[in-house]
Amino acid sequence: MDFGLSGRARDHLDRLQDFMDARVYPAEPVYAAQRRELAALGREHHVPPVVEELKREARRRGLWNLFLPDATDPAHGLSVTDYAPLAELTGRSPVLAPEATNCAAPDTGNMEVLHLFGTPEQKHRWLRPLLDGEIRSAFAMTEPDVASSDAANIATRIERDGDDYVVNGRKWWITGAADPRCAVMIVMGRTDPAAPAHRRQSMVLVPMDAPGVEVVRALPVFGYQDQHGHCEITFTDVRVPAANLVGEEGGGFAIAQARLGPGRDASTTACAPSARPSGRWS
């Protein structure tokens, strides 16, 4: 098997290497200093200004949204094998480089979900600002009371009430939810507890400022607070329009699998009839 780089991948890798050497690595001590300054002001989850400077420079250099695969958008994206060495390189500065190039989780997976399954309205309201790096997002799946690494165990309830869905439950280790730029969550919960195990779950878009959403705390890891936060969140009678449903009701498990594996390959959406793309975002 030939693992050599294509001409397109080599071009991107050379330009990315220059960006890393000239701008990203020198910015790491600046980022650390700005984080300390913000923490002293009680704003430890606010983004240091150097991050936005790097984002503008990466976009100017054409190093933006590199994660979006050509299987999803041939006119825009790189292939999986073209992107892999770029991801390896940005991983050498995990705090700065992925976000600087708009290739940071959980936004990457959320953008792919919206790209593949979102309605035109959902794409306009949420996907476009994410692709432009104007907002951040979170993926609210894991829960403290069940073995939620198996999405079939999710207990949060999402119940239809007229033209709305009502969400009740508790999530934790929700990455990114403490960042003030986090504007929306994709929330996974049970819509039909009586359905077959893998058809009980659905996903809905919940704005961070929706009434009933409470970020209880940002959970530290070995005493360290991540800038974006890993949060415990409660949902108490959170009401969102039925139009905020992602894909179809009962399709949450299939969408979760499409989001996860293998990492970013959109072809995995063929795993279930319910997980089919709804069209291009552009």
The reported pLDDT for the residue numbered 276 is 35
266 Cβ contact list (under 8 Å, min separation 6): 69, 71, 72, 112, 116, 258, 277
The reported pLDDT for the residue numbered 231 is 97
pLDDT tens-digit profile, the chain (282 residues):
677 888 889 999 999 999 999 999 999 999 999 999 999 999 999 999 999 999 999 999 999 999 887 655 555 678 888 999 999 999 999 999 999 999 999 999 999 999 999 999 999 999 999 999 999 999 999 999 999 888 889 999 999 999 999 999 999 999 999 999 999 999 999 999 999 999 999 999 999 999 999 999 999 988 889 999 999 999 999 999 999 999 999 999 999 988 886 454 433 333 333 333 333 333
The torsion angles phi and psi of 264, rounded to 5 degrees, stand at -150, 10
The reported pLDDT for the residue numbered 262 is 44
What type of residue sits at position 28? E
The torsion angles phi and psi of 86, rounded to 5 degrees, stand at -70, -40
The C-alpha atoms of residue 214 and residue 243 are separated, in whole angstroms, by: 22
Where do the domains of the chain lie, and which CATH numbers do they carry?
A: 7-104 (1.10.540.10), 120-124+129-271 (2.40.110.10)
Quote the pTM value: 0.89
What type of residue sits at position 235? F
The reported pLDDT for the residue numbered 150 is 85
Residues found in the chain: 282
The C-alpha atoms of residue 24 and residue 58 are separated, in whole angstroms, by: 10
Contact of 200 with 152, CB cutoff 8 Å: yes
Beta-bridge partner residues of 188 = 203
Rg (alpha carbons) of the chain, rounded to whole number: 19
The reported pLDDT for the residue numbered 85 is 94
